[in-house]
């Protein structure tokens, strides 16, 4: 698809130099850069279950301060 974009002059110069050094077309360098950016953003959209650190029970329930998990659920309107 053809489209028109306004790209700052210094970025275009850098892209042209990169394309010349690599012996590639400017449009290929731009398309590849956009594709890589999209992939990176899609990977960090939301954390997976394995990236969430485990929570210590000791931090949730302290007899002297009450049940913090219960308070948190109450604050969010959850029934348990």
Give residue-wise pLDDT tens across range 16-72.
999 999 999 999 999 999 999 998 888 766 655 565 566 555 555 556 666 666 666
User: In angstroms, how far apart are the furthest CA atoms of the chain?
Assistant: 69
Residue 30's closest CA among 52, 48, 7, 49?
Answer: 7
Question: Rounded to a whole number, what is the distance in angstroms from the first to the last CA of the chain?
Answer: 53
The CA distances from residue 26 to 14, 18, 21, 40, 57, in Å, are 10, 8, 11, 21, 56
Which pLDDT value is given to residue 51? 59
Which pLDDT value is given to residue 79? 58
Q: Is the pLDDT of residue 77 over 80?
A: no
Q: Is the pLDDT of residue 7 over 70?
A: yes
Which pLDDT value is given to residue 62? 58
């Amino acid at each position: 698809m053809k489209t028109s974009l306004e790209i700052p002059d210094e970025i275009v110069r850098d892209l042209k130099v990169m394309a010349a050094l690599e012996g590639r077309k400017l449009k290929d360098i731009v398309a590849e850069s956009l594709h890589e950016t999209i992939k990176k953003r899609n990977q960090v959209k939301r954390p997976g279950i394995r990236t969430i650190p485990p929570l210590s029970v000791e931090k949730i329930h302290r007899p002297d301060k009450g049940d913090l998990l219960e308070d948190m659920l109450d604050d969010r309107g959850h029934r348990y």
